[in-house]
Amino acid sequence: MIKIVMSSCILLLLAILASSVSNVRPDGFFSSTIFTIAGILFSIGIGLIVTFKPEGVKNKAYIKELRANILHVRNSFLCHFGLLTASYILNQYLSDPKYESHIIDLTFSFPVFLCLLMLYSSLFFIVNFIAIYKLDNQIFDAVNQEQP
């Protein structure tokens, strides 16, 4: 959770920088496209996690560690999808430019921030795919070590 808060703060700073430098704002089509792509990534990832079984591993300590890793990846997927969904919904309501705030010649745009947050969540799904791949390799290695 701390990583998400830190990442959100970095994205907030990036949004302020992007909003201050450029007048380009993402529209509803852009955010819908990001949300659709992220939804597909989420569906694939959660499907992989649900069907992920540490079959063939006999070492109970290692099974416990694998299950903890799978649980961590699953929770990460769910947390980021929740963040993505909240960002998408907020973006639909806060996309009007009248919500922009100007503080000390800096501009903050909710649509820019929320789209950056959605992009971050989408990229994090890819990071989780890599984690699932590593877990699969760990299981393969553990099974090969246990077999005579």
pLDDT digits 0-9 by tens, 87-134: 889 888 876 554 455 566 677 788 888 888 888 888 888 888 888 888
Looking at residue 100, its pLDDT comes to 55
Write the CA distances from 122 to 11, 57, 78, 96, 113, integer angstroms: 14, 32, 12, 24, 14
- Is the pLDDT higher at 128 or at 54? 128
Contact 24, 109 (CB under 8 A): no
Q: In the chain, where are the structural domains located?
A: 1-146
Please give the pLDDT value at position 148: 60
Tokens coding 1: 């959770």
Mean pLDDT of the region 52-65: 79
